[in-house]
Chain A
């Protein structure tokens, strides 16, 4: 299970990609918005951050992590009426 934290209006967790790199998934809006979930990948070699929609990384996540991210996004921003998460 991912370790989620609230950072302002966003909810963030660290994820592992199949390439072995760690990245951050940042949830800021509902599924309909392609930028509602974005992945930040830090490239240490060039000290730059690559930011792309979650959709671009679907094949690089485990199914369990992907399901957890989409469920968390729905709980935070979706219309299905799921229980809101609590953060420490």
Chain B
């Protein structure tokens, strides 16, 4: 039997959380600093060629749909504003992180980002999280799985086998085999990256609302769980044969009634034309 961990022993003994690129950290600091300006942000992006390239590719993608060619980072920052640029930088950084994960997981994560945009708009979180942020947050929800695949591949595989054999969700099997689930581990990475606490809390509890440590993040965690569920039901799980369980509490906490469900799915299905383009940008 493999060793079981708690989150602290796992981080002490096995998993090294990757750092966010320093340029992205710096952009976050600048966006949060009222005395900074657009050209400060543009300068930081220009110092990181990979980030600059990815930012320009994202800005010019149909997903952002700004309708004119943007050739310079300064132009991109001026057109979109610092908050959107920060989200672009996060997206680029997350895509880098996903280079370590499976294509299946990336596809699921991009879809969840798109689904979360649609879910948020019909939920109690409407107005609290803007659509670009929602996309990044959805993209990040399973980042803990990448860490498990990298640092504990055999245990991760064993958890997948238990999940399939007993028809229990992956997070339940991970708790049994490893002692910690991907949601809790991913939440720690989000905290390390200095992303908002509400995202860390929501990721920690998106499968199991009892794991949400802050009541104010409950609706967001539930919305994230629903976005994940919609992707699995759409035939795009994080791994083949994934089992997903959603409680009635998820819908209640997210403030989503039956009448909200069709418009969520209409918007989600209508946005799926962007998936291939976003997948290409990620690779």
Contact = CB atoms under 8 A, between A and B. Distances in A.
A and B part of one assembly: yes
Interface of A: 1, 31, 58-59, 61-64, 66-68, 70-72, 74-75, 78, 80-85
Top 8 nearest A-B pairs (CB, nearest first) are A83-B235, A71-B233, A80-B269, A63-B251, A80-B272, A70-B265, A66-B261, A71-B234
B14 to A, nearest CB: 33
B258 A74 contact: no
Contact of B233 (A31, A58, A67, A81): A67
Interface residues of B, number: 24
Contacts of A62: 248, 251
B228 to A, nearest CB: 12
A67 B265 contact: yes
Contacts of B67: none
Contacts of B234: 71, 74-75, 82-83
A70 B262 contact: yes
B135 interface: no
6 contacts: A59-B258, A63-B258, A63-B260, A66-B262, A70-B265, A71-B233
Nearest to B259: A58
Interface of B: 226, 229-230, 233-236, 244, 246, 248, 251, 256-262, 264-266, 269-270, 272
B261 A82 contact: no
B251 A82 contact: no
B230 A58 contact: no
Contacts of B233: 67-68, 71-72
A66 B248 CA distance: 12
Contacts of B264: 67
Interface SS majority for chain B: helix
Contact of B269 (A63, A74, A84): A74
B118 to A, nearest CB: 11
Contacts of B270: 80
A63 B235 contact: no
A63 B262 CA distance: 10
A31 B229 CA distance: 20
Contacts of A1: 244
Contacts of B258: 58-59, 61, 63, 66
Contacts of A80: 269-270, 272
A29 B211 CA distance: 40
Given A63-B251, A64-B229, A82-B234, A71 B246 contact: no
A78 B256 CA distance: 24
A75 B264 CA distance: 16
